[in-house]
Amino acid sequence: MMFPALIAPLAMIVVTACGVDPVFRYQPPNKLLPTGRFEVSGVATNAIVRIRDKAELKKILIVGVDPSLPLLGTHGVTGDTLWFAPRFPPAPGIEHKIRFDLAALDGSGAKPHIWRWIPVQEKTPIPGVEAVYPTSETIPENTLRFYIHFSRPMKRGQAPGRVRVLNDQGKEVELAFLELDEELWDAGQTRLTLLIDPGRIKRGVKPLEDVGPVFEAGKTYTIEVDGAFEDDAGKSLGEPFRKSLKVGPAVRERIEPRAWKVVAPQIPYGVLEVQLDRPLDHALLMRQLKVKTLSGAPVEGVWQVPPGETVARFRPFKSWQKGTYHLVPGADLEDSAGNRTNRVFDAPGDEKPVVPVDHLEFMVTGK
């Protein structure tokens, strides 16, 4: 009866005596190991007992992606396994070199074992540009802001070299976009905000006089996103994306909600349609227009802005009731040139501040 119990230790003695090679595997992340673990098991007991401290462990088991320095992480020993838990989850697609060298312990002639392992990279689709706002073919000369929507999360830090404005000769317009250390992405990094240097728009400022404006009325331009623009998986667009633009005269007027046409919805779930006085900023239209009841209670729902950005449509979550409602434009609502309801973007100093209209009324009727 004792016989089976003796087999395991006897087997171990036989195995270590014969010097079977240690085995490497990467233990994927789990609850206890959030970054996974590099494990070398089957290490001879007589070797393990000779390891005195962490410092020696670090010399025996070295995991790295570059010969200059090993990865940040912690080492340990469990049973016959030497392990290394990296500080961060191993980056996909990068070759990791795992070096196990007992000779580091005692200078013995033992040969090092070297394994190479590349974490699997998930297959992702080729990224593309879904939309560029403002969508209209003709934009005002003093356009301040563009949004580029991508189909996948992209990498930050590449906009300066990889998005450009070309003139009608195909030549790049010098320094068209404002270069910021912190690129203006949304949290998911699928939308990039690009600003034209305000100094090249505002009237009577040095950069406008020295370098000239980015856009000139009457001319055509192209916004080009380079084919090398990469998503977060390192895949590039491939083909460059181009959008042609015609440039019209500058728009230097406040947004006037009183010039909007509000088409009241029908009970119960009719769409409220707001026909704007001019194209407005796409992102701001989605959150700066509020619908309220007469008592001031907000009406929750979803805004939709079709291409052209001259119309905004609202569908409520709960049904409309017959009666009067208010459409309240937010103070931050702008057009793509930065004009607001209370001021023009580059207002002259002597201009008096304007109090814009607080709300527009509309009546919901029903059959």
Q: Which residues sit at the interface with other proteins, rule CB under 8 A?
A: 64-72, 86-88, 90-91, 94, 96, 144-145, 153-157, 174-175, 178-189, 191, 193, 195, 197-199, 202-207, 209-211, 231-233, 281, 283-284, 287-288, 332-334, 338, 343, 345-349
Compute the least distance from the CB of residue 83 to other proteins, in Å: 16
317-342 burial, b if ≥16 CB within 10 A, otherwise e?
A: eeebeeeebbbbbeeebbbbbbbbbe
Q: Smallest distance, Å, CB 345 to other proteins?
A: 7
312 closest CA partner among 297, 320, 323, 301 = 301
Rounded to a whole number of angstroms, the minimum distance from the CB of residue 14 to other proteins is 38
CA–CA distance, 32 with 85 (Å, rounded to integer): 11
| Nearer to other proteins (CB atom), residue 111 or residue 156 | 156
Cβ–Cβ under 8 Å, residues 201 and 213: yes
Residue 76 CA from chain centroid, whole number:
37
Q: For residue 134, is the peptide bond before it cis, meaning its omega torsion is within 30 degrees of 0?
A: yes
E strands, 36-90, in order? 37-41, 61-64, 73-78, 81-86
CA nearest to 265, candidates 211, 323, 192, 345: 323
Nearer to other proteins, 141 or 334 (CB): 334
Nearer CB in complex with other proteins: 22/86: 86
- CB nearer to other proteins: pick between 5 and 69: 69
Q: For residue 136, what are the CA distances in angstroms to 102, 139, 249?
A: 68, 7, 14
Q: How far apart are CA 279 and CA 311, in angstroms?
A: 8
Give whichever of 229 and 325 is closer to other proteins, judged by the CB atom. 229
Based on CB atoms, which residue is closest to other proteins, 185 or 362? 185
CB of 133 to other proteins, least distance (A): 11
Phi, psi (deg, nearest 5) at residue 105: -70, -50
Please name the amino acid found at residue 272: L
Using the minimum distance from each CB to other proteins, give the nearer residue, 109 or 349: 349
- CA distance linking residue 205 with residue 196, whole number of Å: 14
Alpha-carbon distances of 49 from 4, 13, 84, 109, 340, rounded to whole Å? 26, 15, 18, 18, 74
Nearer to other proteins, 26 or 362 (CB): 26
- Shortest separation between residue 336's beta carbon and other proteins, angstroms: 10
**Minimum CB–partner distance for residue 338 and other proteins (Å):** 5
Residue 288: CB minimum distance to other proteins, A: 8
Cβ of residue 29: shortest distance to other proteins, in angstroms?
14
